[in-house]
Structure 1
Amino acid sequence: MDNQFPSKKGPSFCSFRYVLALFMHSCNVVVMAQRMCLSLTMIAMVNNTNLRGLPNTSTEDHPGYIKNPVYDWSPDIQGIILSAILYGTFIIQIPVGYLSGIYPIKKIIGFALLLSSLFSLFIPLAAEVGETWIIACRVLQGISQGTATTAQHEIWVKWAPPLERSSLTSISLSGFLLGPFIVLLVTGIICDSLGWPMVFYIFGACGCTLSLLWFILFYDDPKNHPCVSINEKEYITSSLIQQVSSTRPSLPIMAIIKSLPLWAISFSSFAYLWTYNILILYSPTFINSMLHVNIRENGILSSLPFLLAWICGIIAGHAADLLSSKNVLSLTAVRKLFTAMGLLLPSIFSMCLLYLSYSFSSTIAFLILANATSSLCLAGTLINALDIAPRYYAFLKGVTAVIGMTGGIISSTLTGLFLSQDPESSWFKIFLLMSAINVISLIFYLIFAKAEIQDWAKEKQHTQF
């Protein structure tokens, strides 16, 4: 039925919905920049070769560090500061997923992005006051970012025609992949030339600007947007007429818990973020232990996987929509295909890192491919909840995100423990466990995943007799 829409009103990259996807892409780039920049600025903020033992001390006596206060934070404190934003993001997922189906998305995302940017501006001041303040600032920033990243999924319930869901979602979500690439490239340069506080000021100012533009450009419903053409409004509303309800019924909690397709999405999200966190967080460590390059070269090499992942994610979204619209594969088969590639290929290339990397170039190639191919899940399991329950999409994304982030937290913790025991040979255990989790989750997904609206998500199921 989804393939019966008039072709003349079909996908158009000049339409406002694609402009909206690109704008969301930019917002996600800035969100990831604000999230990840501290990982690199921490090197400049904590300089153990200068003023060791003097807490919260500025190196104003050294001309090269006039704008670079240096703090004596222990490795434990540094770890808490870096991870604080993840805990803020984690705790807000499900509440925001529920509330975004009730309250206006324009206000939720706009204020969340603005608050995240303001907290970014406050970080240098918070660091000067003390580590407790910067930890609190990062937790609150994580809550703000978790609100924005979860609530944005509700946008495509009313803005994305079924035949364009993969394309629009992949464009917007690929900002999470381009953001780290930009951060790894420019943060070091900003720190060297302007001082590390300017990193937070620049990314914070960019976020404030985007949040103001958000309030101007975005409308919750395309029918009310003055910049959307009449043809585009008709195409969007007609394609979604059987899937979007004007009312939000109470959540069918028991039906959701019993839904095997939803559990398939949850387990595959667990595996995806397990893999993602290992490859993203520990790629610099792997490069350092295997290739022994300097930190500048490490930063450049660590950024390359994000660039290819960004490209792969966008291509995957368009390819998925093309396969579905041309009736080459059913939508369920499309979701399973891209999920399979997104979970299996990183496992294969990770094992190649251990057994087939005989040179510098081969090691980098396999590392880039392992990171990049995981983004194929953008056209698979990461959008699948919209297929099975568009009315509860944001809430289900919050639930699956919590399960997925649990996998990410566990994997990063276990990887750190493995490496602390044996930095060289532990990579075999790390990649083998990752591959096993990916395969097991994928088998469950291939058996139980669906791409049709489930009975419990249909409006007729909530009629009162």
Structure 2
Amino acid sequence: MAKTNFGLLVTARIVMGFFQAATFPTCLHAWSIWAPPAERSRLVSSSFAGMSVGNFLIFPLVGLIVDMLNWESVFYLSGAFGLLWSIAWVVLIRNTPNDHPCISEHEREYIKSRVGRPLERPWPLKSILTSLPVLVIFIAHVSDNWSTYSLTALAPIYISRVQGFDLKSAGILSALPFIVRLLVTTVWGWVSDFIIKRTKARLCVRKISSSLPLAVAGISLCAVAFLGCNTWPVIALLTSSVGVLGMTTSGHCSSYLDVTGSYSGVIFAITNTLISAIGFLAPQVAGALLPDNSLENWRNVFLLAAGISVTGSLTFALFATDKTEKWAQEENSKEEKVENGQPMLEKVPEDQQVSSSTSLEC
């Protein structure tokens, strides 16, 4: 389409965005049904880490593929991987533990005993739109995505045009932040669940997981703004500012499940629709601030991203909660109990507990 007509190219991009928009809300809704509260951080982190894997692979691969083949090959290969993933999803994914043929009865009962039944009543749209906890999560999510989108789009340009690296080297260096983010996302997800299980301090973990990385990213970007052509300190700070944001999957991303329960998928879809506009706005605003590649203009881009990160950090630290909203709770039957705002059945004895991420039989 790019070779045929510019209008067709734009149309293709819109269609891609429309269909890909369902991916993250679907994953989050799946975890609202499949993820026991004690395993949410690491399970949400494991799926969201895929974004870092994709970014980590695509940056160096684009430079290599274009250098070895041609630019069209980048899109052919990306499309092929997308098709393979779609086939795997259709074959492997089921709506509920009851529907899945590849898990043991023990694991099925373990999940059902800890995760409430999905709510089937109409969406409480007014309550969702006027919920302070949802707004707080939204602000933190905006702050996270603004920095991520800005740096994803602009870091290769900054590294190549301002710091003076060629395309291949810029691609490899631009991938570094996402290697760090992948490691941070995965490791911190496990650490978060361990701390929550040992201390029951879920709210404290959620606040640290979002407020701390957003603050660190903001400070790092402020430093980048004034370092000028000190290349390796700049690259180190860009790497840390994106990498540390991997902690947020155990923060505001997991808070969707804590606060909104079975509605987390639909609420994430609403908020992510608004936030996705940032994927368009962040590079556009940066472009408006960059009439040329002078360090002064780049400083404004980094300071804006830093200010938004710090705003999200303070908002989440002051106002975040881990309590399930009343409109997201279901009426519990007599044999059910409530723990941390989540409907629960009688607990499985400790010596019989298994992780929901194991015991596959197929």
TM-score band (shorter)? 0.7 to 0.9
Q: Deviations over 1:174-211 (max 9, x none)?
A: 11111011111222333333433333222222222222
The answer to whether residue 59 in structure 2 is matched with residue 184 in structure 1 is yes
Deviation sequence 1:147-190 (CA, Å, 0-9, x none): 22322221101111111111011111111111011111222333
The answer to whether structure 1 residue 174 and structure 2 residue 45 are counterparts is: no
Matched-pair contact (CA < 8 Å) for 2:66–2:73: yes
Conserved? CA contact 1:345–1:373, under 8 Å: yes
Counting aligned pairs with the same residue, the percent is: 27
Q: Report 1:445-456 matches (<5 A).
A: 445-456=316-327
Aligned CA RMSD, in angstroms, stands at 2.0
Matched, 1:367 2:238: yes
Query: Partner letter of residue 369 of structure 1?
Result: S
CA distance in 1, matches of 2:117, 2:274: 26
Q: 1:403 to 1:141 in 2, by over 3 A?
A: closer
**Greater Cα offset, 351-360 or 288-297:** 351-360
Instruction: State the match for 1:310 in structure 2.
Output: 182
Is 1:430 equivalent to 2:298 in the alignment? no
From the superposition, tell whether residues 194 and 289 of structure 1 become closer, same or farther in structure 2 (CA, over 3 Å). closer
TM score, norm. by length of structure 2:
0.86
Task: Name the TM-score, length of structure 1 as normaliser.
Answer: 0.68
The match for 2:164 is 292
Of structures 1 and 2, the one scoring higher in RCO (CA 8 A, sep 6+) is 2
Matches of 2:66 and 2:152 in 1, distance apart? Answer: 22
Counterpart Cα distance in 2 of 1:441 and 1:363:
23
Q: Take 1:357 and 1:316, find their aligned partners in 2: how far apart are those partners?
A: 32
2:22 aligned counterpart, secondary structure: helix
> C-alpha separation between the residues in 1 aligned to 2:292 and 2:235?
25
CA gap 1:127/1:354 in 2 versus in 1, 3 angstroms: closer
User: For 2:132, which of 235, 260, 273 is the aligned residue?
Assistant: 260
- Secondary structure of 1:128's aligned partner: coil
The aligned residue for residue 36 of structure 1 is: none
The answer for unaligned runs of 5 or more in structure 1 is 1-125
Letter in 1 for 2:28: H
Match of 1:212 among 82, 87, 90: 87
- CA, structure 1 residues 402+207, in 2 after alignment: closer, same or farther (shift >3 Å)? closer
Separation in 1, partners of 2:238, 2:156 = 10
Asked if the contact 2:225/2:303 (under 8 Å) is kept, the reply is no
In the alignment, is the contact (CA less than 8 A) between 1:261 and 1:448 conserved in 2? Answer: yes
Cα-to-partner distance string for 1:387-427 (whole Å, 9 max, x where unaligned): 11112111110122133233443332221111116632023
- Confirm or deny that 1:281 pairs with 2:153: yes
Contact 1:339/1:379, CA 8 A, preserved across alignment? yes
Amino acid at match of 1:439: V
Letter in 2 for 1:297: S
Q: Structure 2 CA distance, aligned partners of 1:443 and 1:209? A: 41
- Contact kept in structure 1, 2:261 and 2:329, CA below 8 Å: no
Residue matched to 2:195: 323
CA contact (8 A) 2:214 2:309 kept: yes
User: Can you list the C-alpha shifts for 1:46-73, whole angstroms capped at 9, x where unaligned?
Assistant: xxxxxxxxxxxxxxxxxxxxxxxxxxxx
Distance 1:288 1:362, change over 3 A: same
- The letter for the 2-side match of 1:147 is A
Secondary structure of 2:295's aligned partner: coil
